[in-house]
């Protein structure tokens, strides 16, 4: 695949990296055949200037459709980052979860 520049969240441009996409899908725990299929399908949809957010959405959608637990793991990092820079909302969330399990926080 020729080098296609994509747009990062910061606005910076960088070449699309098949290996970065592959590693992110592998870290979700998806089986190798699912990773291979998702990479192929996403590569077919990559266009110059496409955002990394859109690439993430495509990958998440494919995982969610076929492997829901892996999709949840794939989206966890992004979900935590979207909670805010302080980490406090995440601490509160975990505290509430632990309370429902009978722990005192």
Residue % of the chain over a pLDDT of 90: 38
Confidence of residue 37 (pLDDT cuts 50, 70, 90): very high
CA distances for 17 relative to 22, 26, 67, angstroms: 9, 14, 23
**For residues 68 and 46, what is the distance between their CA atoms, to the nearest angstrom?**
23
- Dihedral angle computed from the Cα positions of residues 69, 70, 71 and 73, in that order, rounded to the nearest 10 degrees: 90
Q: What is the mean pLDDT of residues 6-30?
A: 91
Q: What is the mean pLDDT of residues 80-98?
A: 75
Confidence of residue 2 (pLDDT cuts 50, 70, 90): low
pLDDT at 1 over 60: no
């Amino acid at each position: 695949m020729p080098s296609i520049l994509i747009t990062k969240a910061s606005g910076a441009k960088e070449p699309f990296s098949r290996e970065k996409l592959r590693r992110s899908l592998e870290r979700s725990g998806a089986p190798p055949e699912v990773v291979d299929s998702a990479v192929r399908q996403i590569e077919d949809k990559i266009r110059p200037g496409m955002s990394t957010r859109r690439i993430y959405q495509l990958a998440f959608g494919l995982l969610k459709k076929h492997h829901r637990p892996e999709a949840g793991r794939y989206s966890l990092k992004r979900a935590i980052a979207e909670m805010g820079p302080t980490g406090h909302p995440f601490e509160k969330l975990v505290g509430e979860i632990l309370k429902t399990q009978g722990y005192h926080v």
